[in-house]
Structure 1
Amino acid sequence: MVKYQEIANELRNQIQEGVYKAGEQLALEREMCEQYGVSRITIKKAVDQLVKDGLVVKRRGSGTFVKSLASEDVHDISMANQFSGFSKVFEGHEIATKVVRFDIIHPTAEVAEKLNITTDDFVYDIVRLRQVDGDPVVIEYTNMPIELIPGIKREVLEHSIYRYIEEQLHFKIQSAHRFIRALLPTPEEEELLRIDHGTMPILEVEQIAFLDDGRAFEYSKAHHRGDKQVFRVVSIR
């Protein structure tokens, strides 16, 4: 990882952990240059990344300030960047996970291409139903390369895969590419999500998630109940 990304990640974590609060000014560029021992160009690139993420705003002649976002928006931003995962996003709620399928298979050509592996490699083939406060919210269809993410057991699936990856494997989850579309649920999905037949579409979130060294560790499709999920986006000009 290049230096400006390391600095951007550290500042991002400080914002999300409340070290820098909403409306508070970040340290001046020259102060951060001294703190990190880098050039102003490097600091500028790090801050520009935070601007792009929607976490800070630059004010001409004044400096850079943390955006005043509602707490749920901050959670959504972190989820969109894949720093949290389902369990962290809904922290404080009663979360239940039903493992519908857990197999080890050879990936299809499509999945192999997404994960930058071959069809001779092995991946976990995981289907989970996630519930929040007793209500079914999303069905997750997940493939992960076993060679990169070893040791996943059913107990991990019943809790948080992302927590296992970060706390047990000591990897840093960095980012994800996401594509969102509306679909009609299958009869099985209608039953799992408690949707009356033909009454509601679902939102499919297709994603490829990456570690901080650029390796793809997850290809998934999450099928959300249309009335149980809101996706927020912060656009910066």
Structure 2
Amino acid sequence: MPREKFTQIYATLKERIESGVYPVGQLLPSENTLIGEFACSRNTVRRAIAELVRDGYVQTSQGKGVCNIFQPIERSSYTMGTIESFRETARRTGQRTTTRVVRLEKCVAGVTVSLLTGFPVGTELFSLSRVHEMDGKPIILNHSYLRVDCMPDLTAEIAQGSLYRYLEEELGMVIVTSKRTITVEPVTPADEKWLDLGEYNCVAVVSNQVYNSQGVMFEFTQSRHVPSVFRFQDNAVRRSTGSGTRRMTVET
């Protein structure tokens, strides 16, 4: 099965769902209709549908078909299952954004930085701090450590734009996965200096270790969010377990 055909079907159906061509609660076209439209095998259509199920876009029902269960993500919400830059989030939600670089310098990971980030002691890093504003309000303070050998020519001008666009489109890096941790922490002097906290005395902190296709962790970023506009949204799918299946069989 050509991967190009599978990804084409998946991307097309996903775009139709997100744009409202297939309204929420309604069935997608039948397998036979999709097979005719895309000139492909039944297995190819089923694999594309299975990926949409996995990503929380649709739900299959025996004897009925495939139902659209997608709900558009709210403004200012971030997605849990994807690696999305601040600018990509803003573009998706239609909000006006600016980014300010408040620090960019080279350093070498010592024990403290190594324990925080996961980079080995002695790794040469860029230490980068940026303030993200949305609709004129400073709402996120990013502290990043970035491997110098993965982006040796990084400048403040580049960091002020889209860092991921630079890495992917200009350096050819393939960004694959991240390990994400979310905590709530007391504000720091830096938070008070750079963020519009209002009456809040805490921030929502998202820590990311990001890996490329070579298995190299090239980025550790700690994003410190103003709680009033912090929201993560996820699509979760419950998966059957072997023990659950066996238990059901016994009870039947």
Q: TM-score, normalised by structure 1?
A: 0.75
Q: How does 1:54-203 map to 2 (within 5 A)?
A: 54-72=56-74, 76-77=78-79, 80-82=81-83, 84-91=84-91, 92-109=94-111, 112=114, 118-196=120-198, 199-203=200-204
- Aligned-residue offset at 1:109: 4.6
Q: 1:158 to 1:20 in 2, by over 3 A?
A: closer
- 1:233 and 2:234 are equivalent in the alignment: yes
CA distance, structure 2, for counterparts of residue 161 and residue 207 of structure 1:
15
Aligned residues: 228
Distance in 1 (CA, whole Å) between partners of 2:140 and 2:176 is: 23
- 5+ long unaligned stretches in structure 1: none
Give the superposition deviation at 1:12: 5.7
* Between 98-107 and 18-27, the greater mean CA deviation after superposition: 18-27
What RMSD over aligned residues (CA atoms) do the two structures have, in Å? 3.9
Q: Identify if the C-alpha distance between structure 1 residues 116 and 188 changes in structure 2 by more than 3 Å, giving closer, same or farther.
A: closer
Deviation sequence 1:45-90 (CA, Å, 0-9, x none): x7545433323322223444553322538x743x6411x3100111
Distance in 1 of aligned mates of 2:68 and 2:213: 24
Provide TM-score, normalisation by structure 2.
0.71
- Deviation of 1:163 (Å): 1.4
Q: Computing the radius of gyration over CA atoms, which structure comes out larger, 1 or 2?
A: 2
Distance 1:199 1:71 in 2: 25
Q: Distance in 1 between matches of 2:227 and 2:137?
A: 13
Structure 2 gap segments, 5+ residues each: 239-252
Which residue does the alignment assign to 2:244? none
Q: Percent identity at matched positions?
A: 20
**CA, structure 1 residues 66+227, in 2 after alignment: closer, same or farther (shift >3 Å)?**
same
Shift of 1:31: 5.0
